[in-house]
Copies of this chain bind each other. A is one copy, B any other.
Amino acid sequence: MRVLVYGDGQLAQMLNLAGVPLGIDVAAVNVKDHSIVNPVDKAPRTESLKQAITDAKALTVEFEHVPVGLLEDADASGKLHPSFTAIRIGADRVLEKRFLERLQIPNCRHQIITEHSQLDNIVAELGEKVIIKASLDGYDGYGQWRLKAASQLPELKAQLADLDLGAVPLIAEQMVSFERELSLIGARNAQGQVNFYPLAENRHHEGQLHVSVAPAPKLTEELTQQAQQIFTTIVEDLDYVGVLAVEMFQIGERLIVNELAPRVHNSGHWSIHGAETSQFENQLRAVLNLPLGDMSAHSVSAMVNIIGCGSIAKEVLAVPGCHLHWYGKTVRAKRKMGHINVVAESYAQLAQRLDELAGLLPLEFFPVLEDEAQRLAEQ
């Protein structure tokens, strides 16, 4: 049984590793040259993309920014999950905002900017603190600008002057002050079965996710209910099939949606060790219409991204509950090279283990780790 994934990065790799035991062969499409590769060792496979689409029982994506022409071909097979529409909503912030508005799902106050002249009004509409994002290809802190005071507007306009806003509009969002970012990852299969992982709390630094903790500390039933309600509204409207990640900001006891990722997500990597069934296995189960696996957390987990750092002291393997996961990539600044999952029986024990880890890691690459350990120790 073959599943074809568009994209051959670490998410495709982890889908492949989850597939082998289930007897599912996960092959990847290199979206640049359209070749079919083994997503683990990148060894080329001989079949054409067309043949691979024919051979696959299901098609899916590891990232939403797949070229539209490729997605259309995938969609034409009738085997693409989630759907073309769902993937495009994840890829295009204009579609995403319109979708959230249509479903009356709380999200950040925003304006869609299709003409430069609209920028003159953003302070009046949204206040002095605004984050501006390209509608397409905004990813991990790239293609974003910040307005921190009205006086910066002329400079910002100058920076944006060359952009073709008719082709790629901007989204201007009110910067909100929030307690924390939470993400809800869940899945729905074609029979409509829906299941959720516990909410994870995500800690960013310079626009990149550094640490996720799951279940998020200090969860209330009310927060979980809100998040699951939002998730269910989305997947039912879209007749969504697959894993979906919903990133949200917590403001008081309210949640507003930041963005949607129509795929397995970095904030769900903890599930490989901290949940009965990982998000990768559940993605495969969902797109193949198999029963979803248990998503409850059997431990408390932290997922620590390894970013821009190519090697780790082997003593890390001796820290109780630590599991190293490399993606097999060449090191570059800011590149996600792997992650470390840490499982524990309590937040206090998790804090201890993160602290022990921090003593072994080059902290310039792990700038929030000590602070996270401290914060968890206080839970």
Contacts and interface: CB of A to CB of B under 8 A. Distances in A.
Interface stretch (A142-150, A151-159, A324-332): A324-332
Contacts of A285: 317
Interface stretch (A17-25, A94-102, A179-187): A17-25
Nearest to A314: B290
A35 to B, nearest CB: 15
B23 A326 contact: yes
Listed from nearest, the 8 A-B pairs whose CB atoms lie closest are A291-B318, A23-B326, A21-B325, A291-B317, A290-B314, A290-B317, A20-B40, A22-B324
Interface in A55-74: none
A237 interface: no
A2 to B, nearest CB: 11
A90 to B, nearest CB: 26
A330 B208 CA distance: 45
Interface in A300-323: 314-315, 317-318, 320-321, 323
A316 to B, nearest CB: 9
A262 to B, nearest CB: 23
A137 interface: no
Contacts of A325: 21
Contacts of A17: 17, 20-21
Interface string A18-60: 0011110100000000000010110100000000000000000
A298 B343 CA distance: 12
A75 B97 CA distance: 63
A127 interface: no
A174 interface: no
Contacts of A338: 21, 23
Contacts of A22: 324, 326
Contacts of A290: 314, 317
A276 interface: yes
A339 B84 CA distance: 36
Contacts of A326: 20-23
Nearest to A22: B324
A43 B40 contact: no
11 contacts: A20-B326, A20-B328, A21-B325, A22-B324, A23-B324, A38-B43, A40-B40, A43-B43, A290-B317, A293-B317, A298-B298
